[in-house]
Chains A and B, each alone.
Chain A
Amino acid sequence: MIRAALRHLAGLVISVVIVLAVSFALMHAVPGGPFDAERGLHPEIEANLARAYHLDWPVWKQFLQYIGPFNLGPDGWLGTGADRFGGVLALDFGPSLRHRDYDVADILAASLPVSFQLGALALAWSVPLGILLGTLAAARAGTWLDALLRVLTTTGIVLPGFVIASLSLLVFAFAWPLFPVAGWSSLRHMVLPAFALGAPCATYVARLTRSGVLENLQLDFVRTAKGKGLGRGAVIWRHALRSALLPVVAYLGPASAAILTGSLVVEKIFFLPGAGTHFVNSALNRDYTLALGVTLVYTVLVFCLNALADLLASFLDPRVGGRQES
């Protein structure tokens, strides 16, 4: 158990380093910089800004400064305290280059909770519903219910998020004003965005579950279960569904990381202060530090949720992990 945890941790550190290095290199390879504007700055001001944020250094040196707890500036490795780059290893993600007076940490602290709440709510309804509908579709395969669910799930997969979000706004906020149009203050504000965010996940889970259950219904152990005299319900929900959940769990690792970090589209449409917006905007604005900070959070989250999915899978499937073969 401890060994496994250590192995996971080592994997996390390695992937974070790789992801950061690649993103750092890519960000700096893209033409343009954080202070480019339509109206060009005075060259001297630009040079001053570059100096303040060490943009005049070679990229490798900037990277080390970004990572390390050391100060590579002219004031020695401890610095004078005036330099605002502490390094990721000191849990300092630096100042945002575009949001004046904000550190990356401040921005994340303000926006991530919103995204997390929304994402958690989206997952909370979409995963159970997806599993339920998928199993129902498999149990009634070939009937009108299956056909209806297939139409629904296909629609959910092919419709882009902004269409679902706009349609739900149109119906449930304007035509039939059940929920507020936008904003972020109460649970009622979360309903529509959570619906729009969770819908693709629910449909995908439903499809995964349906095909898994159908596949399992052909297997020998399901025949054994029927041969004992078990009813159809027990055969499907207890025997066929159980092993069909394994691919669903595997999918949920990365999928929930994506949902928890927010979606630009949903946040734009509902005017939510979530983190999804920063993903896109920071890259477009060449806000190097914010883009890297967001990427870092996403990497860690993907990693942890994958580990969690593995753990859950090993609970579901005794053949994986922990238990020893006798």
Chain B
Amino acid sequence: MTLLEVRNLRLRFDTKDGPLQVLDEISFKLEAGETLAMVGESGSGKSLTALTLMGLLPPGAIIETGEVLLEGRNLLTLSARQWRSVRGRELAMVYQDANSALHPLLTVGEQLAEAILAHRKESPSEVRKACASALGEVGISAPEARLDAYPHELSGGMRQRVVIAMALLARPKVLIADEPTTAVDVTMQAQILELLEHLRAKYSMAVLLVTHDLGVVARAAQKVAVVYAGRTVELATTKELFQTPLHPYSVGLLRSAPSEAAQSMASVLAASPSQGPTQSPSQAPARLFSIPGMAPSPARMPVGCAFHPRCPFEVARCSRERPELKAWRVEVPSNMHTGLVTATSRRAACFEQERVAAAAVASRTGWHELEQLWLAKMEPRT
């Protein structure tokens, strides 16, 4: 059963210079017990989507259309009072920057206690016990003593754990983790991801993981929603996405992932990527690919497919019509077998899915051709 579904969410800000369309049809489904990663560049609308789910949009944001269904109930029609019982208890959020997400003048214990007391009455001693055990659960040693500490007395990793503990206290059904690993150092990232995975399994929560890091996706998520310019451009399982991306933007993302992600990718893919026969300087192993061009700003969104100015697969149609996010019955070359299989569960917003998939599969024997294609596309512009 679908626990949380976002359907065609459109959101804009009205500014002095006219409306800014920041979310333009975000859609995805989150099943109970699974982790869905929402991937995209910064500014693509990932965090705004997360805030919409929590009902924490900044003033001025206008939801034009769309539904956020939590167990069939549309959250966007809730009153302020109803929202209060949803926040924290049904949906809880782990914030990106634990340093600014915690109140500097309140102790950890005071802030944790609120997460419980906002939803049910309990005696102070019980609350304290629950808070201490939540801290223990996220791997903080001497939790009793930490309750009386102020946030600035904790290390960055510990603060992030406190934020996770706070989100868990009211036992939410869905945990929204907004870039939970960006503000902590690399060694801590793996631990935080493991912790989230452990807690997801233990409390059978569903997790929406917002990230720009494909390494994190490969490690932690079963499904992926790729977001570009405020729009879901591809929905797939992690394995499918890493095998045969159907959207050119996904291809570019995978290509531009740094080595750590590439390794995770390699472990997802059975085939080992080998270099093409013609070794060009641009293929030196240390060099990182990046998708040429810039993500469009909401103020100047291209007509048609938002990605077409950067897309090497562009056809005439792309600059006129916008491709729907839909299940194209494409035949994608399977990784496991040599033959073609029909993918029906896949959804991508691209007219040229088959060409993209074919190129992506072909590129496993060397990115070179794909990269050349990309460079050729950008040349007349630069």
Contacts and interface: CB of A to CB of B under 8 A. Distances in A.
Contacts of B276: none
A239 B101 CA distance: 12
A229 B153 CA distance: 26
Interface string A290-325: 000000000000000000000000001111000101
Contacts of A234: 114, 118
A75 to B, nearest CB: 61
Interface string A123-143: 000000000000000000000
Nearest to B150: A318
A155 interface: no
A115 to B, nearest CB: 34
A227 interface: yes
A227 B88 contact: yes
Interface string A231-267: 1101000010011000000000000000000000000
Contacts of B93: 227
A318 B86 CA distance: 32
A243 B150 contact: no
B19 interface: no
Interface stretch (B3-11, B36-44, B103-111): B103-111
A317 B104 contact: yes
Interface string B78-101: 001000111111001101010011
Nearest to B93: A227
B287 interface: no
A221 B114 contact: no
A229 B97 contact: no
Given A228-B114, A229-B170, A231-B84, A221 B103 contact: yes
A216 B102 CA distance: 13
Contact of A223 (B101, B105, B119): B101
Contacts of A225: 103, 114
Contacts of A242: 103, 105-106
Given A220-B100, A319-B150, A323-B153, A230 B105 contact: no
B104 A243 contact: yes
B235 interface: no
Contacts of B84: 229-231
Nearest to B153: A326
Given A243-B105, A325-B153, A219 B85 contact: no
A234 B114 CA distance: 10
Interface residues of A, number: 24
Contact of B95 (A224, A231, A316): A224
A228 B115 contact: yes
B103 A230 contact: no
A326 B170 CA distance: 29
B101 A220 contact: yes
B54 interface: yes
A223 B102 CA distance: 10
Given A220-B95, A326-B153, A229 B100 contact: no
Interface string B137-153: 00000000000011011
A93 to B, nearest CB: 43
Nearest to A219: B100
Contacts of B154: 326
B166 interface: yes
Contact of A228 (B87, B97, B104, B149): B87
A317 B105 contact: yes
A189 interface: no
Contacts of A317: 104-105
Contacts of B101: 220-221, 223-224
A229 B118 contact: yes
Interface in B152-168: 152-154, 163, 166
A84 interface: no
A316 B105 CA distance: 7
Given A221-B100, A225-B103, A242-B103, A325 B152 contact: yes
A226 interface: yes
B56 interface: yes
Given A229-B87, A323-B150, A224 B118 contact: no
A228 B166 contact: yes
A313 B337 CA distance: 69
Contacts of B149: 326
Nearest to A318: B150
Contacts of B111: 224
Given A223-B101, A224-B103, A229 B88 contact: yes
A232 B118 CA distance: 11
Contacts of A318: 104-105, 150, 152-153
A243 B86 CA distance: 27
Nearest to B100: A220
Contacts of B114: 225, 228, 230, 234
23 contacts: A220-B97, A224-B95, A225-B114, A227-B92, A228-B118, A229-B86, A229-B89, A229-B118, A230-B114, A230-B118, A231-B84, A232-B80, A239-B103, A242-B103, A242-B105, A242-B106, A243-B103, A316-B105, A318-B153, A323-B150, A323-B153, A325-B152, A326-B149
Interface of A: 219-221, 223-232, 234, 239, 242-243, 316-319, 323, 325-326
Interface of B: 54, 56, 80, 84-89, 92-93, 95, 97, 100-106, 111, 114-115, 118-119, 149-150, 152-154, 163, 166, 170
